[in-house]
Amino acid sequence: MKKILTKTMTDPSQRRVLVFGAGGYIGPVVTEHLLELGYKVRALDLFLYPTQSVLEDLSGNPGFDLVPGDHCDRPMVEKALKGVTDVVVLSGLVGDPITKKYPDASKKINDEGMRALIGLFKDRGLDRVIFVSTCSNYGLIKDDELAAEDFELTPLSLYAKAKVAMERELLGLKGKVDFHPTVLRFATAFGLAPRMRFDLTISQFARDMRLGRDMQVYDAETWRPYCHVRDFGDVIAQVLAAPVEAVAFEVFNAGGDVNNFTKQMIVDTILEFLPDAKVAYQEQGPDPRNYRVDFSKIRERLKFEPRYTVRDGIEELVRALDNNMFADVDERPNFYGNYEIDYPPSAPQ
């Protein structure tokens, strides 16, 4: 069932990419980047959070169209897939806290709904299917170890467990489907975007320290990888453009070695810009994850290196806060963070 990639398919102007979850933190940045490269983009999003405005600036682009809808809604998805050549799956109930808070919705969206969605991609003439997973799948590892793509997966949360299950679902389709899936294990996102997330480590720390709030940092020496939202746009574009044999049924850690940081390193970098900020530290916090990630595969296979460092992201965010760009965060918390959802218990399957 292997499909040959034709010259037509390598031309972005001849490809229409369906981005599931285009209305979140990363989605608008990815969508805009693909449009700039000449791809046509169809965005599908349920807008679980009140973020409908984040795609408004793209509405005048002739290559863009929006389908408001749920990836669990089969008729809606089948309609959205018409005329599409490639798929990017960013959608889902995203993050450890929100899936823990809403386990039933998490099961419907991230497990049952995602498995059904993957099933709908078969026999539609799709080329690339890019599934966005997470480096959280590595869970808790020793400080002296680096997690490459073949490292043991020990997901600790409902969110990561669902991602691991869907990775296996996709990779188990080899030889059975006519599309070419790629799994991208994203690092934790940072950077300015139309829908900022102030419930993520770098942006949360920077804002609290800029506002002079009492900030408690748990387990300061734990490691995480980070990646700028614009670099995620580059990664996805490179997978779409790469030769099939380089990316089909492959898993890539998405990020760069330069942005493996401890919480202490983040705080110290913010203090370069905000030297008077006060920080307290405490051990044994509620989130035990600790993982450093090896990004050599994506560097060697796709020649990807991040353009933005953690320091770059902190600098741009502090500058934005100095310019009072996010004065309404406390008034609109659910726009700026994944805190509350109203997902119907009888959502279509």
Helix pair 201-210, 263-273: axis angle to 10 deg? 40
> Is residue 349 over pLDDT 90?
no
Predicted pLDDT of residue 75: 95
Q: What is the pLDDT of residues 232-286, one digit of tens each?
A: 999 999 999 999 999 999 999 999 999 999 999 999 999 999 999 999 998 877 7
Question: Could you tell me which residue, 289 or 323, shows the higher pLDDT?
Answer: 323
Nearest to 307 by CA among 205, 218, 234: 234
Predicted pLDDT of residue 4: 39
Question: Could you tell me which residue, 241 or 343, shows the higher pLDDT?
Answer: 241
Tell the residue number behind the tokens 């995620």, with chain if given: 232
Nearest to 130 by CA among 37, 236, 49: 236
Query: Residues 316, 322, 326, 329: what is their CA dihedral angle, to the nearest 10 degrees?
Result: 110
Q: How many CA atoms lie within 13 A of 205 on its CB side?
A: 28
Q: What is the pLDDT of residues 135-171, one digit of tens each?
A: 999 988 877 789 999 999 999 999 999 999 999 999 9
Predicted pLDDT of residue 291: 86
Predicted pLDDT of residue 163: 97
> Is residue 27 over pLDDT 60?
yes
Q: What is the pLDDT of residues 79-136, one digit of tens each?
A: 999 999 999 999 999 999 999 999 999 999 999 999 999 999 999 999 999 999 999 9
Predicted pLDDT of residue 290: 87
> Is residue 3 over pLDDT 90?
no
Predicted pLDDT of residue 123: 93
Question: 3-class SS at 249?
Answer: coil
Q: pLDDT above 70 covers what percent of the chain?
A: 96
Helix pair 229-241, 27-36: axis angle to 10 deg? 50
> Is residue 7 over pLDDT 60?
no
* CA atoms of 19 and 21, how far apart (whole Å): 6
Which domains are delineated in the chain? 12-190+228-256+289-307 (3.40.50.720)
Question: Could you tell me which residue, 314 or 8, shows the higher pLDDT?
Answer: 314
* Average per-residue pLDDT for the chain: 93
Predicted pLDDT of residue 262: 95
How far CA 159 is from CA of 106, 120, 184, 242, 288, in Å, comes to 8, 22, 15, 29, 15
Contact present, 132 and 170 (Cβ < 8 Å): no
Predicted pLDDT of residue 9: 64
* CA atoms of 250 and 263, how far apart (whole Å): 30
Predicted pLDDT of residue 5: 40
